Structure 1
Amino acid sequence: MNTMLLPAEIETKTSVPALRALVAKRLIKEYHYSQNDTAKLIGVTQAAISNYLRGTRGNLTSLGDDERIQDIVGEITTMMIEKHELSDIIAKFNEACSIIRGNRMLCEIHRKLEPSLDVDNCHVCEMDNDAPSNSSQSFDISLK
């Protein structure tokens, strides 16, 4: 049986680190934060920040070219500097991830990782945009 990679798994390994890298680069280049201060603010190690800057981690170059993503990265950076509520910052990261999924920005990566998947006829990530945004149903999920 082939491995079945869910979009969320690909997103966790590509989109999230790439978004963090874009925020880190902005904090360091535009706001002159140190790598240590950037790491503390983002919640990663200084080594991760160093890898982001060298392009050995979080290097999804196509994201940096997308104007919508750049705008959200700018908002996230400002929110972090201004110490907004963590839930608001998480919501902005999630908004960026929704744009990435909904605009099929991960499809080529998925194709490379899972060649048996017919990516051209797969529209799973596009369906995420159709999900109801305010569901009255709640779930109790505990981590053990």
Structure 2
Amino acid sequence: MKVSAFEVASRYVYPSLRRRLVQVLREKGLKQDEIAELLHITQSAVSRYLKKDRGALIDVEQFKDIDEKVKEIAEWVIEERPSEYEIHKSLVKLTLEMLGKGYVCNFHSLIDPTLNPKECNVCLELFS
């Protein structure tokens, strides 16, 4: 394995979850600057997420249970305006849940052809 599970999580899964969160907030009618303020990120980052210039390699919507949790996070962000650390913690937990459920295994094998998802149970054992 040339690309670790942690690299996949930080470079692909987490940004994809954040992109989906931005998208859900936009679907709720929030403007880019409002989303940026709520998520403690720049308006330019929001724009890149919406244009799919960032975090677009994993389609979070295909995992219905995860997508529902992203929508719950969006509601929580709007209602409670949590700190950037609380938002980060919730997205990291969701990242680990995706790894633990094996949702990322096939993607991981695409970016690292040396990985055999049938033999590798690292994420399933560590994060389930």
- Which TM-score bucket, shorter chain as reference? 0.7 to 0.9
Partner Cα distance (1:90, 1:54) in 2? 22
Partner Cα distance (1:40, 1:115) in 2? 39
In structure 1, the partner of 2:61 is: 64
Q: 1:41 aligns with which of 35, 38, 42?
A: 38
Q: Pick the structure with greater CA Rg.
A: 1
Segment of structure 1 superposing worse, 101-110 or 15-24: 101-110
Which ranges of structure 2 fall in alignment gaps of 5 or more residues?
A: none
Task: With the length of structure 2 as denominator, give the TM-score of the two structures.
Answer: 0.84
In structure 2, the partner of 1:105 is: 103
Aligned-residue sequence identity (percent) comes to: 25
Kindly indicate whether structure 1 or structure 2 has the higher relative contact order, using CA contacts under 8 Å at least 6 residues apart: 2
What RMSD over aligned residues (CA atoms) do the two structures have, in Å?
A: 2.1
Aligned residue pair count: 127
Which ranges of structure 1 fall in alignment gaps of 5 or more residues?
A: 131-144
Partner Cα distance (1:46, 1:59) in 2? 17
2:26 maps to 1:28 = yes
Partner Cα distance (2:24, 2:127) in 1? 28
In structure 2, the partner of 1:53 is: 50
Q: Does the 8 Å CA contact 2:38/2:81 hold for their aligned counterparts?
A: no
